[in-house]
Amino acid sequence: MRPLMPLFVFLVMLILIAPACTKEEVRRLGKGILEEMSEARVIVLMHGFDISSSQSSGAGDDTGMHKLLKLLEGEAPSHITVVAKVFGPFEQDEAVAFLNMKNPKFANISPKKTEIILIGHSMGGYSVVDVADRLSEANTTVDKMVQIDPYRLYETAACQPANVVVGLTYFQEDDWAWFDGKWCESDDAIDIDVKLHFPESDDFLDSLEFDEQPLCWTHIGMDDCPPLHQEVKAFVFDGTIPTSPGVSSPP
């Protein structure tokens, strides 16, 4: 119900004011009210290598990041415009260009609030840090960042750059040989241990297995984890931070 309230208020105001206004005045008034109500989320999603999805090769349009994109576009509140695209793990240049371009969807209505959001899994979770660093050089703020078991290419962990307002890092400690500690040591990060956060006793998660483990517990499976996607959706649109168990908030 809540997303419909701004539209209801907008219609009531037009009904009350319209009789005393010309058609052009009503048009300008309506546009101004819509601009005051409207928001936008400009989102870059970056998948990992070809093995990033438990359901496909990862190189097509069926990775977990593509599924998350469809969820965000399909379930966005009525007052929020989603402008989003999925990129490969080494397409940082293209991602930055996408974020910097003037999107034609905003030509007629300028959103009152626009957020830049970066989301990545595996190597894509590492690459979004590079994208954030490049935006920092242009003094551009990243409002939200989500890293899903980000691959650590170098000894330095993929962490939250200073220009990121708030970020979530979903991680696990058992799957894949490259892991040797918590992904992000930044004091500003909100770390989420998936084995504590998505308990094995959950009947729904028990029905979603990958390699004989609960889907949301594995590096590859986290890419396709439905409850994780739902949490990301709430974070993107409402700023909702996941709660315990398994959530380590910054001091």
Distance of alpha carbon 133 from the chain centroid: 17
Average pLDDT, the chain: 75
Query: Is the overall model pTM greater than 0.85, yes or no?
Result: no
Q: Which residue has the higher pLDDT, 154 or 95?
A: 95
Q: What is the tens place of the pLDDT at every residue in 154-179?
A: 455 457 888 999 999 898 877 654 44
Q: What residue ranges do the domains of the chain occupy?
A: 1-37, 39-248
Residue 14 main-chain phi, psi, to 5 deg = -65, -40
CATH number of 39-248: 3.40.50
Helix segments in 76-144, DSSP class H:
92-100, 123-137
The tens digit of pLDDT for each residue in 30-55 reads 445 444 558 899 999 999 876 433 33
What's the pLDDT at 14? 47
**Angle made by CA atoms 189, 74, 81, in degrees to the nearest 5:** 70
Q: State pLDDT tens for residues 202-225.
A: 444 445 555 556 678 888 888 888
From the list 205, 189, 203, the residue with the least C-alpha distance to 249 is 189
